[in-house]
């Protein structure tokens, strides 16, 4: 096995173990930290696949910023325990059934996968900031600008939902009471 | 006919099917978490896991096809994931200010 393959296998094992950590941890903090491990392992694989800029974004924005946001919220809300409650009696069975059917379907698709010949492109510059920037600001300028609008909407929505004073649910309850009085 | 599934990685090669298989496993793990776990925060975390698996397939095909569009699309996905996480967590914090929720099924006021 060549060095890239060894690196890939190590990172793949870390990612899969981290994925099990995400779904099996009892405490939300451990789930979030396991997801950080998955993301860092995936970022190394991105680097292997000559996606340098995406690697940097994954480490800084995703593992850095988004997951810290998750950690803040977990810390803010305090420990939560999951308790058995009245769910559908066959919930586990249904979940496993859905997963098995979906998994078998995708697995069958993976078996018959055929690859097209790669494009003729100079791979020495592939995935660099220069190429990504050229792509984002020429061909994909409009999608890029639309994502900025999306981020603005998300920021305004988050501020509205989490601002001080009355919460949105309390406002709703107040309106309901006003309606019942009137 | 050459095997186009082998991605040139530095000196060696990497089989694209392996990368897609890893993405498949990660996506299944995320889906399992969403279906089985009850904690709303853990469910959001599992959604992030699935988005990461999708990103991995995009990057793998970008490298296999020598086509940059997969990487550009990955950046868009990351933006959408960030927006989704921000709004989802804000909604959760707003709900938790009124009451404790340790089961996502308790949030059923909107069922009409």
Write out the two tokens for A122. Answer: 């100079």
Q: In this structure, are residues B19 and B60 in contact, taking their beta carbons and an 8 Å threshold?
A: yes
Among A45, A33, A44, A41, smallest CA distance to A16 is for: A41
Among A79, A78, A103, smallest CA distance to A26 is for: A79
- In angstroms, the separation between the Cα of residue A161 and the nearest Cα of chain B is 6
Write out pLDDT tens, residues A122-158.
Answer: 777 788 899 899 999 999 999 999 999 999 999 999 9
Q: What is the pTM of this model?
A: 0.87
Task: Output the average pLDDT for chain A.
Answer: 86
Residue indicated by tokens 């903090």: A29
* Whole-angstrom distance, CA of residue A153 vs CA of residue B1: 50
Per-residue confidence (pLDDT) for residue A171, from 0 to 100: 65
Angle at B33 between CA B30 and CA B38, to 5 degrees: 150
Per-residue confidence (pLDDT) for residue A94, from 0 to 100: 86
Higher-confidence position of A180 and A108: A108
Q: In this structure, are residues A4 and A46 in contact, taking their beta carbons and an 8 Å threshold?
A: no
CB-CB under 8 Å, A53 with B11: no
Which residues are bridge partners to B29 per DSSP? none
* Whole-angstrom distance, CA of residue B78 vs CA of residue B80: 5
Write out pLDDT tens, residues A51-82.
Answer: 999 999 999 999 999 999 999 999 888 776 66
Per-residue confidence (pLDDT) for residue A57, from 0 to 100: 93
Per-residue confidence (pLDDT) for residue A81, from 0 to 100: 63
Write out pLDDT tens, residues B55-101.
Answer: 999 999 999 988 889 999 999 999 999 999 999 999 888 888 877 77
ipTM of this predicted structure: 0.90
* Whole-angstrom distance, CA of residue A160 vs CA of residue A168: 8
Neighbours of B3 (CB within 10 A): 10
Q: In this structure, are residues B86 and A158 in contact, taking their beta carbons and an 8 Å threshold?
A: yes
Higher-confidence position of A77 and A33: A33
Per-residue confidence (pLDDT) for residue A44, from 0 to 100: 95
DSSP state of B106: G
Q: What is the 3-state secondary structure (H, E, C) of chain A?
A: CCHHHHHHHHHHHHHHHHHHHHHHCCCHHHHHHHHHHHHHHHHHHHHHCCCHHHHHHHHHHHHHHHHHHHHHHHHHHCCCCCCCCCCCCCHHHHHHHHHHHHHHHHHHHHHCCCCCCCCCCCHHHCCCHHHHHHHHHCCCHHHHHHHHHHHHHHHHHHHHHCCCCCCHHHHHHHHHHHHHHC
With cut-offs at 50, 70 and 90, classify the pLDDT of residue B4: confident
Per-residue confidence (pLDDT) for residue B86, from 0 to 100: 92
With cut-offs at 50, 70 and 90, classify the pLDDT of residue A93: confident
Task: Suggest the residue from B86, B87, B100, B108 to mutate for an interface test with chain A (most A CBs closer than 10 A).
Answer: B86
With cut-offs at 50, 70 and 90, classify the pLDDT of residue A86: low
Write out pLDDT tens, residues B21-66.
Answer: 999 999 999 999 999 888 889 999 999 999 999 999 999 999 998 8
Per-residue confidence (pLDDT) for residue A169, from 0 to 100: 61
Per-residue confidence (pLDDT) for residue A92, from 0 to 100: 81
- In angstroms, the separation between the Cα of residue B57 and the nearest Cα of chain A is 10
Chain B segment 28-67 residues within 8 A of A by beta carbon are: 28-33, 35-39, 41-42, 44-46, 48-49, 52, 55-56, 59-60, 62-67
Neighbours of A107 (CB within 10 A): 12
């Amino acid at each position: 096995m060549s060095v890239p393959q060894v690196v890939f296998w190590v990172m793949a094992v870390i990612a899969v173990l981290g994925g099990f950590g995400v779904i099996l941890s009892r405490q939300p903090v451990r789930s979030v930290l396991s997801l950080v491990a998955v993301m860092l392992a995936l970022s190394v694989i991105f680097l292997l696949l000559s996606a340098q800029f995406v690697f940097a974004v994954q480490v800084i924005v995703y593992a850095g910023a988004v997951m810290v946001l998750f950690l803040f919220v977990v810390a803010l809300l305090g420990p939560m325990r999951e308790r058995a409650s009245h769910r559908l009696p066959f919930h586990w069975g249904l979940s496993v059934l859905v997963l098995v059917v979906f998994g078998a379907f995708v697995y069958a698709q993976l078996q018959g996968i055929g690859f097209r010949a790669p494009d003729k492109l100079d791979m020495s510059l592939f995935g660099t900031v220069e190429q990504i920037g050229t792509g984002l600001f020429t061909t994909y300028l409009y999608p890029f600008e639309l994502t900025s609008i999306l981020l603005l909407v998300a920021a305004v929505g988050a501020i509205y939902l989490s601002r001080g004073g009355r919460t949105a649910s309390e406002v709703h309850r107040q309106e309901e009471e006003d309606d019942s009085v009137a | 006919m050459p095997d186009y599934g082998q991605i040139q990685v530095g000196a060696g090669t990497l089989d694209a099917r392996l990368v897609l298989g890893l993405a498949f496993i990660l996506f299944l793990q995320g889906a399992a978490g969403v279906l089985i776990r009850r904690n709303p925060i853990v469910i959001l975390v599992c959604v992030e896991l699935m988005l990461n698996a999708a990103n991995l397939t995009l990057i793998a095909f970008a490298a296999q096809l020598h086509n940059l569009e997969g990487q550009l699309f990955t950046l868009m996905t990351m933006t959408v994931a960030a927006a989704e996480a921000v709004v989802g967590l804000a909604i959760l914090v707003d709900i938790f200010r009124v009451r404790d929720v340790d089961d996502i099924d308790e949030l059923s006021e909107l069922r009409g």
